[in-house]
Amino acid sequence: MLHALEIAGMVCPNNVFLAPMAGYTNYPFRKMCEGLGAGLSFTEMVSAKGLHYRNEDTNLLLYHGPENFLPPENDPTLPFPENGPTLPPPLEGGRGVGERPLAAQIFGADPDIMREACESEALAPFDLIDINMGCPMPKIVRNGEGSALMEDPAQAEKVISACVKSGKRISVKIRTGVSEEKKNAVEFAKMCEGAGACMITVHGRTRDKIYAGPPDFETIAAVKAAVGVPVIANGGIWNDRDMRKMFDRTGADGIMVARAALYRPVIFCELTEREAPPLLPLYLEQLAQTEQIYGERFAVVYMRKMAAFYLKGTPRATEAKRRFFAAQTTEEIATLAKELM
């Protein structure tokens, strides 16, 4: 079940991945999850048009280094734990924290612009480029992007083929279909493989379900049986029991964790059978890295949200959320974390 996974010559230390999540999977969060056991993590969804027009915010989504980035422990201005980070060691046989393959996710429907993005300097450091063909958000779908491409396989094939011509490893993330009446994941996956995709991730829900309801194990299993490239199963994985059920019911080559990681990033320790470190040093390290890379204002807004995720379900969650969202500086947030986590 848990094993190293090769994708077109790229070796991941294990087959438990962190999903791309818009607004959340920035560099510090990805590196934290990898340190906790994730075998591969993906950037937030990046617009190919944004790269084409050299949008500064788009490029910032692709920040990926320096490798093994840690804030200086002796800098008194940073809310960093005195004894440094408490991260478990790298997985045996893995490439180590900061040395795993790099994966980015992009979206778009114009084959030329998508190929240009894959060939861009911004994506040059990445070992794998994933094309989002599953996003259900209306503003994406209205532009013919994301899951809209599942309704236009011919255009989707042109996009994948163009990206493959860049010479990069190309994977595709899809859904089971756009609705129960229009499930076409098996045929679509075959097209993806034929166009040159080296991995396919299936979110086990239709577009109209967004993130609701149980995953469709049968369709994921059918995709796995229909193609020869690795298939990653996504959806409804909140604990070890869910992971085992997903593997047993689908035969997938790997699984991808999304929302569960936002609430409990140590889920990767559970899924990879490692000892989980305490939350506080993880949070303080994430806070410090986020501030150094993106600035204090971004760090305050982002880390307030992360605190609400991490503390959800605890006895003082409501009061803690109120206090965190009233904080205006990273120093205040660090002080609250030391009190409440």
Closest CA to 36 of 285, 244, 322: 285
Active site residue 135: yes
**Which residues, 6+ apart, have CB-to-CB distance to 135 below 8 Å?**
45, 107, 141, 145, 146, 147
From the list 12, 33, 118, 135, the catalytic residue is 135
Find out whether 40 and 100 touch, Cβ atoms under 8 Å.
Answer: yes
Find out whether 28 and 17 touch, Cβ atoms under 8 Å.
Answer: no
In the three-class reduction of DSSP (H, G, I as helix; E, B as strand; rest coil), residue 201 is classed as strand
* E runs forming strands in 207-316: 231-234, 254-257
Residue 157 Cα distances to 44, 123, 133, 200, angstroms: 23, 21, 11, 14
The span from the CA of 183 to the CA of 238, in Å, is 25
Q: Which value, to the nearest 10 degrees, does the dihedral of the CA atoms of residues 304, 243, 156, 210 take?
A: -50
Q: Catalogue the active-site residues.
A: 135
